[in-house]
Amino acid sequence: MKDTVYEPIKLDGPAGKSITRRSGREKVTGKATFSAEWPMDGLLYATPVVSQISRGRIIRIDSSLAEALPGVYKVLTPENLPSFTRLPASGEGNFSSIVASKVYPVAERDIYYAGQYIAAVIADSFETARDAALLVQVEYESMPSETNIRRAEGSEQPGSVSGAPPTVDEQNAEQVLSAAAVQVDQEYFTEGNYHNPLEPHATIAHWTIKGGKPYLLVYDSSQSLALARQTYAQLFNLDASQIRVVCQYMGGAFGSKGLMWPHSILAVLCSKAVNRPVKLVVSRNQLYGGTGYRTPLIQRVALGASQDGLIEAIIHAGSASTSEVDQYTESFTLVTRMMYQRKALKLEQFQCRLNTQVPTFMRAPAEAGGVFALETAIDELAVKLEVDPVALRIKNEPVKDLFSSKPFSSRHLTTALQEGAKAFGWHRRRKTPRELRDGSWLVGFGVSAATYPSLGFPTQVTLRIGSDGTAKILCCSQEMGTGTATVQAQLLADLLGIPQGRVQMKLGDTDLPAGGISGGSATTGSVGGAVRQAYDKLKERLFELLASDSKLRKVPIDQVQFIDGALVYKNEMARFEDILMDANRDFIDVDGSFSPSFQTSTSNHSFGSQFVEVGVDEDLGLIRVRRMLGCFACGTILNARTARSQFLGGMIMGVGQALQESIRWDHRLGRITNDDFAEYHVPVNADIPEIDVLWIDNPDFNATPIGAKGIGEIGITGVAAAIGNAVYNATGKRLRTLPMTPKEFLSS
């Protein structure tokens, strides 16, 4: 095997530098136009009417009162809904569309979950639409529903779990477990979560005519603009050229805007029905049910080890939820395939059908829940073996990915654990619980490994190189708020050898070359991979444009280098802007693409370590995080400032998952009781202590052409386990349920 899949590149200019996000000023001065904010002539407002029951049938919808309200244009019901093509949902293996659920808005008479969109009011103001929605009278026939994963736990298995069968048993793991000298066998429960991006889901849709044909313009807060266009095309029988989808800014998404949820389809249907532009902003309440959530998980992790701490058997099994009619598979056992060495492995996933919106991916899908169970069990094993949990993890480092038998593209988990431990002052941890106090607080230290796969999605870019010395990256990727436009400009500036201020990225518009979904921490590597390929072609293009009397022409092209924005051979050099000027060209376009099919010879993952210090007030059941440190190995870091923000954001979200966030159900009614920020608790500043973020310099050219493995999601993984492990170290009490609320602490 070659050393690396991609030829390493040296990035020593603008890439990696700590540069402020380019959209920062627009955002803080209110000039950034978010998807709900585009001014449109004749704009109307739509509000969905949502189901108040969680399962049953609609008998009758009476919209006469609503229609009588001044300002109401139309009430859409199943009777007068414009036509569309029913596509299978993406979870059924339909990868050409991103329809999240086959329960289409306003189209159904059957109710599958509370919050289902069953009618819609279109009015001349948001307030009128909302008022009128309350006047729509719906008569239901109610049927029993199930929203409790503990009651629904069953024997159904998903078709596959990230490409493998739902049950995998290598070397009879149960037998190896029961023969092992030291055993841990526990159940872990994690509650469901909602993404709750600050910017609500929102769509403005406008049907017009262009060139004699219908033309659909959509402003959509979406992580998948190119796929959204493809999906609208299929839903409404249009050619892709008849659709433009735009999203210039996003106020958070975390996976909740990756697929197409009913409100987007509904906005387009509303616009079609009234032949006017229509805006639909999902309210905070209607987000709960209107969009997908992180499934609760019931997990069993069992570990068998020899007396000297070598893991012999790993078993990871359990249940996730999916909805009554749709399929979503949360691959919570994925991490366990490759994390540690072992002799025997058993993985088994079940699913239960709940009367909810279909679950979906939420920041570090699979890993956020899976790592909590696995890394808590590892800590429990360390306690039984009476060894340091950092040392136990290092001792069980695998030589390769034992599941796929492929070598790791790079790993560095040992370094991340060692460097993290050193920086955190891990040596000050007491081996025995209840030894460290600070006033009324018992203090403890905890550690966990962090990991997330390094993924990629097909991406195309065009580089527009100008005779004015500037360069543009054109790509329909999206600015999630993470700094995509900033870091890609840094990358290209570095490759071209010019100041980063001379490079811009245009994104967020399907009129640009198609990018992939901004999910799976894959944007930087995928877009960057396409940028690199286009850059690699640039030298040839410029060479062709050289003036016929240029001395460089006589030199074989492979001896000409591209350095600091110029073709160079010995003392001869020609800057790209001069080449273009001489050739009478304002600009040239060079295309590049990235395909993840190149990434298959190695097992590609990011790794890291999380260290946490907690204080626990045993009388009140309060758990306070006092210090946190994360140390990550994610390959090339293109911007120190935006990268730190990503890691910080992930770690803070991990605190939410660990201590606060939970969907609370009234299972009798099948309804969510905490559907707003007053009741669904997320961390605020007072919950968050000093956080240190470190990373290891390890460009990984097996994983992506620019060596970046992705950083958006790994930050959340391991945080909950590290907090729980720290609580054990402080108090001797093991919490196996998330979130670890005061009630949970006091009752366990």
Q: Smallest distance, Å, CB 331 to ligand MOS?
A: 12
Q: Which is nearer to ligand MOS, 56 or 608 (CB)?
A: 608
CB-CB contact of 444 with 614 (8 Å): yes
Least distance from ligand MOS to the Cβ atom of residue 232, Å: 20
Residue 337 Cβ vs ligand MOS, minimum distance, rounded to whole Å: 19
Q: How far is the CB of 528 from ligand MOS (least distance, A)?
A: 17
**CB-based contacts of 596: which residues, under 8 Å, 6+ apart?**
455, 456, 457, 458, 526
Nearer to ligand MOS, 417 or 480 (CB): 480
The answer to whether the CB of 121 falls within 8 A of the CB of 136 is yes
Beta carbon nearer to ligand MOS, 13 or 255: 255
Q: Which stretches of 51-116 are assigned E, i.e. beta strand?
A: 56-62, 72-76, 110-111
| CA–CA dist 312, 96 (Å, integer) | 42
Least distance in angstroms from the C-beta of 210 to ligand MOS: 32
Question: Which residue number places its CB atom closest to ligand MOS?
Answer: 255
At 119, phi and psi to the nearest 5? Answer: -155, 175
Q: Torsion over CA of 29, 34, 37 and 42, rounded to 10 degrees?
A: 150
Minimum Å gap between C-beta 226 and ligand MOS is: 15
Nearer to ligand MOS, 364 or 378 (CB): 364
Give the residue with the Cβ less far from ligand MOS, 258 or 683. Answer: 258
Shortest Å distance, C-beta 520 to ligand MOS: 4
Task: State in angstroms the smallest separation of the CB of 258 from ligand MOS.
Answer: 5
Q: In the complex with ligand MOS, which residue's Cβ is closer, 340 or 361? A: 361
CB of 161 to ligand MOS, least distance (A): 17
Let me know: does 447 contact 440? Beta carbons within 8 Å. Answer: no
- Judged by DSSP in three states, 605 sits in strand
Cα–Cα distance between 627 and 630 in angstroms, integer? 10
3-state secondary structure of 244: strand
Cβ-based nearer residue to ligand MOS, 304 or 710: 710
Residue matched to tokens 């808590």: 376
Which tokens hold the place of 561? 């280098």
Name the site residues for ligand MOS (rule: CB under 6 A).
223, 254-255, 258, 361-363, 365, 519-520
**Which lies closer to ligand MOS via its Cβ, residue 219 or residue 361?**
361
Between 365 and 608, CB nearer to ligand MOS: 365
Query: What CA–CA distance (Å, rounded) separates 475 from 484?
Result: 11
Please count the other Cβ atoms lying within 10 Å of the Cβ belonging to residue 38.
Answer: 17
| Alpha-carbon gap, residue 95 to 76, rounded angstroms | 29
Identity of the residue, 368 or 628, whose beta carbon is nearer to ligand MOS in the bound complex: 368
CB of 363 to ligand MOS, least distance (A): 5
Q: 608 - beta bridge partners?
A: 450, 632
CB atoms within 10 A of CB 243: 21
Indicate if the alpha-carbon torsion angle 46, 49, 55, 57 is positive or negative: negative
| CB 361 to ligand MOS: min, Å | 4
Q: Check residue 523 and give left, alpha or beta (phi > 0: left; psi -120 to 50: alpha).
A: alpha
Please identify, using beta-carbon distances, which residue of 35 and 533 lies nearer to ligand MOS. Answer: 35
Q: Which is nearer to ligand MOS, 224 or 376 (CB)?
A: 224
CA dist 704 → 87, 375, 409, 431 (Å):
33, 28, 10, 41
Least distance from C-beta 713 to ligand MOS, angstroms? 6
Taking the C-alpha atoms of residue 711 and residue 522, their distance in angstroms, rounded to an integer, is: 9
Q: Is the dihedral of CA 274, 276, 277, 281 positive or negative?
A: negative
Q: Which helix (H) or strand (E) holds 450?
A: strand 441-453
